[in-house]
Structure 1
Amino acid sequence: MNTVALNPLRIISDIWRHRYLLGQLIKRDVLLRYRGAMFGVLWVFLSPLLMLGIFAFIFGQVFQTRWPQQDGGLPFWLLLYSGLIIFNIFAETVSRAPTSVRGQPSFVKKIIFPVDILPIVPLGAALVHGAFNFLILVAALGWAGGLHGQIVLFPVLLLPVILLAVGLSWFVAAWGVFIKDMSQIVPVFVQMLMFLSPVFYPVSAVPEVLRPAYQYNPLGIVIEASRAVVTGASIDWGAWGMTLGLCLGASVLGYAFFKHSREEFADAL
């Protein structure tokens, strides 16, 4: 395995060098998704707005659900929505990774094309959707009277999830070239991970015997930190910092694995 590919600065430099091409691919990906729809790209805004409205009705009016040990404060559906923003960015990126390279054989067979940016395209599209989700969350927090100044830290807290998502995407995209079943396996894994992460519940609601396992879940740590930002509570920066380091390592290893497998892509396709 090429040790140059294990250099984080080299990885950032490679991506930055192709930033214009990457931006155009992300733009095309987002626009193609809504091409032909009656409201077009307005669905980028309408979809999360409708989803938040459904959450508010179901969990606020029908079930009248409350966060465990919550006596007051923000509604349950806002805390749930804040966790889903984090998880959906990860889920959309990783779920689409198996076909990100296999679905573009014409690019793979062009020697001069930087194939390693293809798994990042779903991440870019997921971040576009996440940005609109975040704006709606801020508006909803203002409406509910729970908007805090530290909400500006929410995008910063996303960094470990972004690194983990792109690292796994490089792994999965490479495997997806050789194993077509990855496009069926990965979405199931992501769906399982949603319920194994504190998206619909806080870590404090997990049985004591299982709680240590949640302390090693990078998604759970970031989701809990994001909820702390939303509620105005203190953030465990130590746990977040350790998660950032682990996710950085995962992204570097994913990139190195992708580079190592790159030479066989054209033959496999």
Structure 2
Amino acid sequence: MSNKNYHPVTIRSMLSSTWYNKHLILKMTYREIISRYKGSMIGLAWSFFNPLLMLIVYTFVFSVVFKAKWGADLGGGRGEFAIILFAGMIIFNIFAECINRAPSLMIANTNYVKKIIFPLEIIPWVVLLNALFHALISFTILLLAQLLIIGYIPPTILALPFLLLPYAFCLIGVMWILAAAGVYLRDLGQLMSIATTVLMFTSPLFFPLSALPRSLQPYLSLNPLAYFIEEARELIIFGNVPSIGSLTISGILGMATLFVGYAFFQKTRKGFADVL
């Protein structure tokens, strides 16, 4: 089907497009991961060393220089804060990778938009899987560090996919909106870079929400990242499982965001080739 023709906006078409093109998505993801490190001396090994070096830096800066504490005794000594911070940063980095790249996705893939028949809606999935691949490596390093520093990994980590699935749905939905809007609003990329920085410092990365004055907690709880960062940390480190109610609500909101984003992308894509 040509990009200029009618594109259906239904849940069925959204799901079938992803399923039908799953092999193409995986192939493009693999190509993107490999191309990121193409030409470097150690290649893909950088995906392991980058988060490892960051964890070492976090451990030194926050446990030696700042001597920061989280307010919970996990028996990890100096490395305790670094592990807690690193867990939150993994969740945030998935968000930052996806959102910062989203506004320029169609512009960076003009050849797909103009010259060939191509399912443009799958490109955000490629970006998300690329971010999740690097997050998986970071999670592996985190768990190894947790064993060494704290001495245990809570079994609640097995529930992490139930938290990450609605998170992924939200990200894809937002990416579809930003990718489509970025074709028409070229300043959107700069705005999202600023927004990402603001969200980083207003997210519970360097502090728990409970450490803030009660008058401020409801406002910072409106940050869409706050829930996922706090609950991921609870699952991975503190051994606490989110309530079924909160998971259900996040799942519903994730699916709603996914479909709204898909509908917006499908409705606006017919003008991409004309603008690009």
| Structural mapping, 1:140-159, within 5 Å | 140-144=145-149, 145-159=151-165
- Structure 2 residues not aligned, in runs of 5+: 1-5
The partner residue of 2:251 within 222, 244, 247 is: 244
Does the 8 A contact of 2:33 with 2:130 survive in 1?
Answer: yes
Q: In structure 2, how many angstroms separate the alpha carbons of the residues matched to 1:217 and 1:239?
A: 15
CA distance in 1, matches of 2:19, 2:43: 30
SS at match of 1:119: helix
- What is the deviation of 1:3? 10
CA distance in 2, matches of 1:153, 1:234: 8
TM-score (normalised: structure 2): 0.90
- TM-score, with structure 1 as normaliser: 0.93
What are the residue-to-residue correspondences of 1:43-122 with 2, within 5 Å?
A: 43-67=46-70, 69-74=71-76, 75-110=80-115, 112-122=117-127
Task: Tell me, yes or no, if the aligned pair for 1:221 and 1:240 is still in contact at 8 Å.
Answer: no
Shift of 1:36: 1.0
CA distance in 1, matches of 2:130, 2:166: 17
Query: Contact between 1:86 and 1:161, CA under 8 Å: does it hold in 2?
Result: no
- 1:175-254 superposed matches below 5 A: 175-229=181-235, 230-254=237-261
Q: Which residue of 1 aligns with 2:3?
A: none
- Greater CA deviation, 114-123 or 209-218? 209-218
CA distance in structure 1 between the aligned counterparts of 2:248 and 2:147, rounded to whole angstroms: 29
After superposition, what is the alpha-carbon deviation per residue over 1:99-123, rounded to whole angstroms, capped at 9, x for unaligned?
A: 1111111101145210111122211
Q: In the alignment, does 2:271 pair up with 1:264?
A: yes
The answer to whether the 8 A contact 1:120-1:169 is kept is no
CA RMSD of aligned residues (A): 1.8
Give per-residue Cα distances to partners, 1:2-46, cap 9 Å, x unaligned.
995242x43222111101111111111111111111111111111
CA distance in 1, matches of 2:240, 2:124: 35
Classify 1:133/1:188 alpha carbon distance in 2 versus 1 (closer, same or farther; 3 Å): same
Match of 1:162 in 2: 168
CA distance in 1, matches of 2:217, 2:7: 37
Give the distance between the partners of 1:57 and 1:29, measured in 2 at CA. Answer: 32
The 4+ residue runs of structure 1 with deviation greater than 6 A are none
Structure 2 vs 1, CA of residues 22 and 54 (structure 1 numbering), >3 Å: closer, same or farther? same
> Is residue 98–residue 176 contact of structure 1 (8 Å, CA) maintained in 2?
yes
Other-structure match for 1:23: 26
From the superposition, tell whether residues 172 and 192 of structure 1 become closer, same or farther in structure 2 (CA, over 3 Å): same
